[in-house]
Amino acid sequence: MKQYNVGIVGATGMVGQRFATILQDHPWFNVVAVAASARNKGKTYAEACEGRWKMAAPMPEKMKNMIMLDADADAEELASQVDFIFCAVDMKKDEIRALEERYAKLECPVCSNNSANRFTPDVPMIIPEINPQHAEVIHAQRKRLGTKRGFIAVKSNCSIQSYVPALTALMEFEPTEVAVCTYQAISGAGKTFESWPEMLDNVIPYIGGEEEKSEKEPMKVWGRVAGDHIENAVSPKITAQCLRVPVSDGHMAAVFVKFAKKPTREQMLERWKGFSGRAQELNLPSAPKHFLTYFEEDNRPQTRLDRDLEGGMGVSIGRLREDSIYDYKFVSLSHNTLRGAAGGAVLMAELLCAEGYID
Ligand SMILES: NC(=O)c1ccc[n+]([C@@H]2O[C@H](COP(=O)([O-])OP(=O)(O)OC[C@H]3O[C@@H](n4cnc5c(N)ncnc54)[C@H](OP(=O)(O)O)[C@@H]3O)[C@@H](O)[C@H]2O)c1
């Protein structure tokens, strides 16, 4: 397989550090450039991350002495060194849109973790097991941007990564209404218990913008390519409530669902067991062997025990039972900074390389 030189924009952040650690032994992708804000320009990566390295794994040795670029001022230099970039920055949405478009117009594909372009109609929001065909809209996006190579592709919000895969496997039964309550880790806010001690012994019933993302983003993922844009799905209706809970990593969701064609419990378990997609077909390096795993034990999945399933790229499901108001209820769990952020973006990039969108 071809090797790709990649850059990480936002390399000093929580998601950027995840990219650094998961890419260190990647068979296709080789990190050659790192960028963040102007505050860190000219520092080594080790200096820029001093006192704020949040990963359990150490910083990759070969990245320690890389010289940080300014993501904005040095965009041309960075784009000329790499085949594509991963982007995860904490900036205003309009600034992120401008930054990502700038890289795309420099003919540098952007695999983004940011939410700014998720609802740009010709930007695909890809979960490789679910909607790999949405990559087709990249042709229309390139036409709009006037590029040959450059484009933007995004991954969806971390909150939807557990319940959307579980529901996707059940689409033939036509889910009509979904109520979901998420229990989200503090790393989703780029925080640890050291940097956010108020989260110890605490639950905060508000995560800005999260409920809207949790209700709307699945509709784009379940949508279809309609010429030059993605047409969003219109059902099922989703209502979401998102809570921040005192766990380091791992977003859990409690899901209630009504179907037009109510399946049996056995049918649901069978669909979850057998569910796989293009990522598995292509045997992509970051693809979990089993995307969805159902636990029969009443007290599983548990965040601490099960978030690292399949290297943090699998989704665990449990507690499936009939409900007195909806048809069924269950619980699902995924790792928010692996499957839900950096790992999901790496898997998307692998798909885009394997399908010829990044050459
Ligand atoms: N954490 C998660 O689980 C998660 C999940 C999905 C999506 N996301 C998204 O990923 C993005 C990053 O999140 P995070 O948790 O990694 O944030 P974070 O830890 O706060 O890191 C933010 C990064 O953005 C950089 N940055 C800030 N201002 C910049 C500027 N003006 N120009 C260039 N770079 C700038 C920072 O660089 P400096 O060090 O130089 O300031 C840092 O590298 C956000 O859009 C977030 O919504 C996060």
State pLDDT tens for residues 200-219.
Answer: 999 999 999 999 999 999 99
| 251-259/152-154 β-pairing | unpaired
Does the pLDDT at position 280 exceed 80? yes
**C-alpha–C-alpha distance, residues 335 and 343, integer Å:** 9
How many of the other CB atoms lie within 10 Å of CB of 332?
28
Nearest CA to ligand 1 atom 5: 341
Q: What is the pTM of this model?
A: 0.97
| 224-226/229-231 β-pairing | antiparallel
Average pLDDT over residues 335-356: 96
Does the pLDDT at position 301 exceed 80? yes
Cα 58 from chain centroid (whole Å): 22
Does the pLDDT at position 1 exceed 80? no
Write the pLDDT tens digit of every residue in 21-72: 999 999 999 999 999 999 999 999 999 999 999 999 999 999 999 999 999 9
Q: Active-site positions? A: 158, 251
**C-alpha–C-alpha distance, residues 182 and 211, integer Å:** 9
User: Residue 217: helix, strand or coil by DSSP?
Assistant: helix
Candidate of 9, 14, 97, 125 to mutate for ligand 1, largest count of ligand atoms within 8 Å of Cβ:
14
Report H helices in 156-256.
Answer: 163-168, 210-221
- Determine the distance separating the centroid of ligand 1 and the alpha carbon of 126, expressed in angstroms: 20
| 29-36/4-9 β-pairing | parallel
**Which atom of ligand 1 is nearest to 190's Cα?**
15
Give percent of the chain with pLDDT exceeding 90.
97
- Determine the distance separating the centroid of ligand 1 and the alpha carbon of 113, expressed in angstroms: 9
CB within 8 Å of 173: residues ≥ 6 apart: 259, 260, 261, 262, 263, 267
Write the pLDDT tens digit of every residue in 120-176: 999 999 999 999 999 999 999 999 999 999 999 999 999 999 999 999 999 999 999
Site residues for ligand 1, CB cut-off 6 Å: 10-16, 36-37, 39-40, 71-72, 88-91, 113-115, 158, 187-188, 190, 336-337, 340-341
Candidate of 89, 111, 160 to mutate for ligand 1, largest count of ligand atoms within 8 Å of Cβ:
89
Give percent of the chain with pLDDT exceeding 70.
100
Does the pLDDT at position 338 exceed 80? yes
What is the per-residue burial (b if ≥16 Cβ within 10 Å, else e) of 8-20? bbbbbbbbbbbbb
Write the pLDDT tens digit of every residue in 149-160: 999 999 999 999
What is the per-residue burial (b if ≥16 Cβ within 10 Å, else e) of 78-107? bbebbbbbbbbbebeeeebbebbbbbbebb
Encoding tokens for residue 226? 């309609």
**Which atom of ligand 1 is nearest to 40's Cα?**
40
- Determine the distance separating the centroid of ligand 1 and the alpha carbon of 326, expressed in angstroms: 38
Encoding tokens for residue 221? 């993922």
Give residue for tokens 């505050």. 39
Average pLDDT over residues 94-119: 98
pLDDT at 2: 87
**C-alpha–C-alpha distance, residues 340 and 157, integer Å:** 7
Helix (H) or strand (E) holding 294: strand 292-295
Average pLDDT over residues 294-302: 98
pLDDT at 80: 98
Average of per-residue pLDDT values in the chain: 97
Does the pLDDT at position 82 exceed 90? yes
How many of the other CB atoms lie within 10 Å of CB of 68?
24
Nearest Cα neighbor of 292 from 351, 342, 333 is 333
**C-alpha–C-alpha distance, residues 71 and 89, integer Å:** 10
**Which atom of ligand 1 is nearest to 116's Cα?**
45
Report H helices in 82-183.
Answer: 93-105, 138-145, 163-168
Encoding tokens for residue 102? 């700038």
